Structure 1
């Protein structure tokens, strides 16, 4: 007789506890998004009505239409956020892939201290370095440009990307490198033709996390280093409009959901690569 699956060996109260914990966790994660979406459907005059109604009475998608008129340049803000995130992701990958390979394969003096320094960078908030970065950007004359928002984004996302991809590459057998070296391959050729195809799931994970991180951290850099509307990303564009007058909450929520749509679309189409990359990195020997 075949052995029962491990999942069937849980007692009924253990299953109740597991699924109950998952339900509570998802409730706390999804509740703000659900409430924000419902606010975008409510008429402005009924947002703070009492008693509270979970499902909006006379709800409609009118705010999704009017916010395009209420927020001048809204489409431009979305383009700026998407453009900045794409450039940041491309630059980070170009720098991180060879760096992660070097840290995973070579032992050189100061490598441990350098990795520790990369880790320490993630412990500092970007706000701590705003004044030095502002002075540096002003000295180079790149304020009010895309460059002023791309460079800080790259600098703050590289450390975590190196750690993540280095861990993945360390799981790739060294025998593959040695076999390539026996055939006369250089380190660069080995990285390009041997390691990269195998590490592609891990690189995809790094690309997705970098894109999301860049899309999420644009506010503080753009608010400090840019004052021109043509370069504003979405968070600052919404803040510039809704932060200087009465807050129209339903239109703000509608604009927020439309604004995060590009990131959601990217994650939706790449989610299978994200899952395969995480699981592949967990089982490689």
Structure 2
């Protein structure tokens, strides 16, 4: 019997070295701020401005992770508020974006291009530009100093990009699946729920992750403008409390930042497995 031909090596040794060196440089620039921030959280405050500057902390400890709770009372409440607001915003955005993205991806209707262009135009406006109109709207609705004052703007600013992202993913799903479901007598809603959603689950998961992160990070300006009660303040406002009048408590600020992003990292970690599980689910009729 003839031996199977050997696979051709696609890269030479120096090309492999160049690829790994490029990956190493990229990871260095990406991870260096996180590593430096973590090391700052381990240093005493007096050591942060010493000369010469020491990258590795001398006599480092996790004391800042304990004292941070004393410097800003109720910091745990700030974390809960950010997590709660981001969860509600993500749920509302998904409920509105999934059918909208399916409609934009599958149906031809008058004004579709104009609407998609309008969604892009919304993303061009900064939240600071719309603060005064939004404040007047929140005051009219009577939702100032409540969670809704941060949920409503978060949903409004995150829906356009989510529609574009999920619409692009749904356009890659073969239309023959819709046609086969239509031949079997399925309605558009049934087709979306039983055929498209299982296949689009990776795209929906990506939209959920990006929406959650976006909502978790953009609450500062809305909270300061539409909220005056500390019990509704999110995490960014809690981090701002470490900026004192005379100095900034950098080690506790870094420690609080790592503690604050922990819930978001946990959510992302558990959602990652759905990125692959929905790739082919539902593509074959049972």
Measure how far apart 1:277 and its partner are: 8.0
3-state DSSP of counterpart to 1:127: coil
Partners of 1:177 and 1:90 in 2: CA distance: 26
CA contact (8 A) 2:45 2:250 kept: yes
Q: Which runs of 5+ in 1 are unaligned?
A: none
1:113 aligns with 2:110: no
Partner residue in 2 for 1:4 = 7
What CA distance in whole angstroms lies between the structure 2 residues aligned with 1:50 and 1:249? 17
Alpha-carbon distance in structure 2 between the residues aligned to 1:208 and 1:36: 24
Deviations 1:91-123 (A, max 9, x none): 000000000010011000110111111112222
Q: Greater CA deviation, 178-187 or 88-97?
A: 178-187
CA–CA separation in structure 1 for the residues paired with 2:54 and 2:131: 43
The reply to whether residue 74 of structure 1 matches residue 75 of structure 2 is yes
> Match for residue 208 of structure 1?
209
Relative to total residues, which structure has the larger helix share, 1 or 2? 1
Against the structure 1 CA distance between its residues 104 and 250, is the aligned structure 2 distance closer, same or farther, given a 3 Å change threshold?
Answer: same
Deviations 1:116-144 (A, max 9, x none): 11112222221111111111111222111
* 1:194, distance to aligned residue in structure 2 (A): 1.4
- For the 8 Å contact 2:242–2:253, the answer to whether it is kept is no
How far apart are 1:52 and its partner, in Å? 1.5
- In the TM superposition, residue 245 of structure 1 has moved relative to its aligned partner by 5.1
Pairs aligned (count): 278
What is the rounded CA distance, in whole Å, between the counterparts of 1:161 and 1:107 in structure 2? Answer: 20
Aligned position for 1:123? 124
Using structure 2 for the length normalisation, give the TM-score: 0.92
**Aligned match of 1:85:** 86
Instruction: Name 2:181's counterpart in structure 1.
Output: 180
Q: SS in structure 2 opposite 1:9? A: coil
Q: Secondary structure at the match of 1:52?
A: coil
The residue that corresponds to 2:18 in the other structure is 17
Q: Deviations over 1:133-183 (max 9, x none)?
A: 111111222111110100111111111111111111111111211122222
Q: CA, structure 1 residues 92+244, in 2 after alignment: closer, same or farther (shift >3 Å)?
A: farther
Deviates more, 1:75-84 or 1:185-194: 185-194
CA deviations over 1:31-76 (Å, ceiling 9, x no partner): 1111110010001111111112111001000000111111111110
Do 2:90 and 2:208's aligned partners in 1 also have CA atoms closer than 8 Å?
yes
Aligned residues of 1:229 and 1:237 also touching (Cα < 8 A): no
Structure 2: stretches of 5+ with no match in the other structure: none
Is the CA contact (8 Å cut-off) linking 1:143 and 1:225 kept in structure 2? yes
Cα distance in 2 for partners of 1:277, 1:37 equals: 34
Q: CA RMSD in A?
A: 1.8
1:64 corresponds to: 65
Report the 3-state secondary structure (helix = DSSP H, G, I; strand = E; otherwise coil) of the residue aligned with 2:145: coil
